A and B are shown apart, each in its own frame.
Chain A
Amino acid sequence: MPEALARLSDVTAGYEGHLVFDGLDLTIPAGQVVALCGPNGSGKSTALRVMRRLITPQSGAVEAVGKPLGDWGAKDLARQIAMLSQSPDAPDELRVRDLVMLGRFPHRRAFRGPAQQDHDAVEQALRRTEMSDLGERPIAALSGGQLQRAWIAMVLAQEAPAILLDEPTNHLDLAHSLEILELLRSLNREEGRSFVVVLHDLNMAARYADHIVMFRAGRVAASGATGEVMTEEIIARVFGIDCSLFDHPLLGCPIVVPLASSNARGP
Chain B
Amino acid sequence: MSTWSQSSRRPRADAALLVFGLGVVALTILGIGLGASFMPPDRVLQALLGEAPRTDEIIVWTLRMPRVALALLAGAALALAGAILQRVTRNPLAAPSVLGITDGAALGVVVFLWLFSNESNTLRVSIHWQPVAAILGATVFAVLVAALTIADPRGRGPLSVILYGIALAALAKAAVTMLMILGPVYRAGQAMTWMTGTVGAAHWSDAATLAMALAVAVPVLWVASRALGQMRLDDDSAVATGLSLVAAQAAFLALAVVLTAVAVAHAGAIGFVGLTAPHAARLIIGDGGRAFLCATALAGAGLVLGADIIARVIAPPLELPAGALTALIGAPLFLYLLVRRSAIHA
Contact = CB atoms under 8 A, between A and B. Distances in A.
B232 A102 contact: yes
Interface string B265-277: 0000000000000
Interface size class of A (residues with CB under 8 A): 35 or more
B240 A108 contact: no
Given A88-B236, A89-B233, A123-B2, A79 B242 contact: yes
A94 B282 CA distance: 11
Nearest to A74: B244
Kindly state the interface size class of chain B when it binds its partner. 20 to 34
Contacts of A158: 241
Interface string A118-140: 01101100000000000110000
B5 A97 contact: yes
Given A54-B239, A54-B240, A123 B1 contact: yes
A105 B2 contact: no
A111 B223 contact: yes
A74 B232 contact: no
A52 interface: yes
A53 B244 CA distance: 11
B236 A90 contact: no
A75 B234 CA distance: 17
B242 A88 contact: no
B226 A108 contact: yes
B2 A85 contact: no
Contact of A135 (B5, B233, B243, B288): B5
Contacts of B3: 119
B232 A85 contact: no
B298 to A, nearest CB: 20
B232 A106 contact: no
B286 A93 contact: yes
Contacts of A220: none
B234 A88 contact: yes
> Which of A52, A105, A106, A158 gathers the greatest number of chain B CB atoms within 10 Å?
A105
A95 to B, nearest CB: 8
Contacts of B287: 91, 93-94
Contact of A77 (B5, B229, B232, B242): B242
A98 interface: yes
Contacts of B223: 110-111
B5 A106 contact: no
A260 to B, nearest CB: 37
B237 A85 contact: yes
B240 A78 contact: yes
Interface string A45-70: 00001001110000000000000000
Contact of A94 (B236, B239, B241, B288): B288
A184 interface: no
Given A105-B226, A136-B5, A90 B233 contact: yes
A54 B239 CA distance: 7
Contacts of B288: 94, 98
B2 A74 contact: no
Contacts of A79: 242
Interface in B271-325: 282, 286-288
A116 B240 CA distance: 23
Interface string B240-269: 111110000000000000000000000000
Contacts of B282: 93
Given A88-B234, A102-B230, A105-B226, A74 B5 contact: no
Nearest to A120: B2
Interface string B3-47: 101000000000000000000000000000000000000000000
Contact of A106 (B234, B241, B286): B241
A103 interface: yes
Given A94-B288, A97-B5, A120-B2, A102 B240 contact: no
25 contacts: A74-B239, A78-B241, A78-B242, A79-B242, A81-B240, A82-B240, A87-B234, A89-B233, A90-B233, A93-B282, A93-B286, A94-B287, A94-B288, A97-B5, A102-B229, A102-B232, A103-B241, A105-B230, A105-B241, A106-B241, A108-B226, A119-B2, A120-B2, A122-B2, A123-B1
Interface of A: 49, 52-54, 74-75, 77-79, 81-85, 87-91, 93-94, 97-98, 102-103, 105-106, 108, 110-111, 116, 119-120, 122-123, 135-136, 154, 158
What 8 pairs between A and B have smallest CB-CB spacing?
A78-B242, A106-B242, A119-B2, A89-B234, A85-B236, A75-B242, A83-B240, A74-B244
Given A52-B239, A83-B236, A85-B240, 8 more contacts: A74-B243, A85-B237, A88-B237, A89-B237, A102-B232, A105-B230, A105-B243, A154-B241
